[in-house]
Amino acid sequence: MNILVINAGSSSLKYQLFNMQTREVLAKGLCERIGIDGRIKHTASGREEYIKDILMADHASAIRVVTELLIGRETGVLNSMQEINAVGHRVVHGGEFFSHSVFIDETVLKAIEQCVPLAPLHNPPNLVGIKACQAVMGDIPQVAVFDTAVHQSIPKKAYLYALPYEYYEKYKIRRYGFHGTSVRFVSQRAAELLGKPLDSLKLIVCHMGNGTSVTAMNMGQSFDTSMGFTPLEGVPMGTRSGNIDPTILEFVMQHEGISISDMLSVLNKKSGVLGISGVSSDFRDLHDAAEQGNERARAALEVFAHSVRKTIGGYAAIMGGCDAIVFTAGIGENNCEMREWICRDLGFMGFDFDPSKNNVRCEAFISAKFSRGKLMVVPTNEELVIARDTEVIVTARIKDAFSERRQLDGQPIHPITGGLFRDDL
Ligand code: ADP
């Protein structure tokens, strides 16, 4: 089965084509500046990288460009578009509707639309991506995989804000959490590396990229997570403030004479380590600046490390212990210095950091051999999770449809694909 994974943003579209038999990525790429002019970067196995400015008026034209490249003579890996068997979409917000990935139908589309007020920047482009695939690929089976889904297991005591309860009832204001697809991949892989079932483990997953979240995975289920109603909550990030006292908003708005939307823009785009340092949101720049004596850059890094450590401590307390702390995403996978700042002196919790193992950018244990708790680096792979979920859901539907049809008249003709998947069953 070949599965196309799509991550649609407002003016961009990332894609990866998987061969699920071999788990190989056959091709991947990025369409940018959709609706402005258009530029594509496409790489396919055994082919030269292809970068070109191509007019893409909307997401449907971007999907058309992608499918043409996937079957193109110079750039392609498939003979025809029919060899794409299903599409899996990253969808940011599933609200309280979705605790699992789902097959996309009209009801699902309506529910994703109802979540737009919860993620006004993300869900609309995700929907546009789904509709663009429908427009270009007809009735190809499509699956939605939600960033929020895994966190639907969080108990009420962790997802309720201490606000008037009617806000939860009327507006569904609660903690949702994000990065769920990454957390699923990383925690499952960590359990494999630990040689124990995921549902027997207490893990803390630190997804540290431009957006950073920390999640307590208790016996295979998300138990608490640092991002909240939106991805602005939690630890400080590249440009996002993370937690602050809410009264700061009114104070700053009055003194600076700015509106609430300007204030939120400051919190989302001009705060975090960028705001403190005034240097950059990229941790590499911050380390360089700190080494050259820039005190604000150093303070920004210290605030970040302090906040992640504080969250780790809290999550160990609410789970009643922790078997492993797992680092992933851009900073978690690559930034050895930040890992050291976070991990050193955690011996009192049973985590003995080994600096000699820490100079890695791949799957690794960075705790000392006899450390009771394990410190781990596990590179994330959200696209593979989306492809796997899509494979499982689409295959199950086809099996159901076959057996239903067989019961009716003994003829296994699939109503959705016309038999596209027979070879895979
Ligand atoms: P996003 O949330 O946009 O996916 P990433 O996961 O790519 O972000 O993380 C971006 C951060 O990762 C940046 O702060 C950058 O400094 C850090 N990073 C990425 N690659 C490296 C690297 N090779 N060495 C050190 N830091 C890195």
Q: Which atom of ligand 1 is nearest to the CA of 361?
A: 23
For residue 170, the model assigns a pLDDT of 96
pLDDT in tens, 162-172: 999 999 999 99
For residue 403, the model assigns a pLDDT of 72
Positions in the chain whose pLDDT score sits under 70: 405-425
Q: Which atom of ligand 1 is nearest to the CA of 332?
A: 12
A 10 A CB-CB count for 70 gives: 24
Give the distance (Å) from ligand 1 centre to CA of residue 293.
22
Gyration radius from the chain CA atoms: 23
In angstroms, the CA 24 to CA 373 distance is: 33
In angstroms, the CA 129 to CA 142 distance is: 11
Q: Which atom of ligand 1 is nearest to the CA of 281?
A: 14
For residue 277, the model assigns a pLDDT of 98
For residue 120, the model assigns a pLDDT of 87
In angstroms, the CA 401 to CA 374 distance is: 45
Quote the distance between the C-alpha of residue 159 and its chain's center: 19
pLDDT in tens, 218-253: 999 999 999 999 999 999 999 999 999 999 999 999
Name residues contacting ligand 1 (CB within 6 A).
Answer: 209-211, 238, 282-284, 329-331, 334-335
Give the distance (Å) from ligand 1 centre to CA of residue 334.
7
Residue having the nearest C-alpha atom to atom 18 of ligand 1: 330
Give the distance (Å) from ligand 1 centre to CA of residue 208.
8
Q: Which atom of ligand 1 is nearest to the CA of 287?
A: 16
Phi, psi of 232 (to 5 degrees): -80, -25
Selected catalytic residue, list 139, 147, 352, 409: 147
For residue 367, the model assigns a pLDDT of 98
Dihedral sign, Cα of residue 268, residue 379, residue 5, residue 215: negative
pTM, full prediction: 0.92
147 is catalytic: yes
Give the distance (Å) from ligand 1 centre to CA of residue 333.
8
Residue having the nearest C-alpha atom to atom 19 of ligand 1: 330
For residue 402, the model assigns a pLDDT of 73
Query: Is-contact 130 89, C-beta < 8 A?
Result: yes
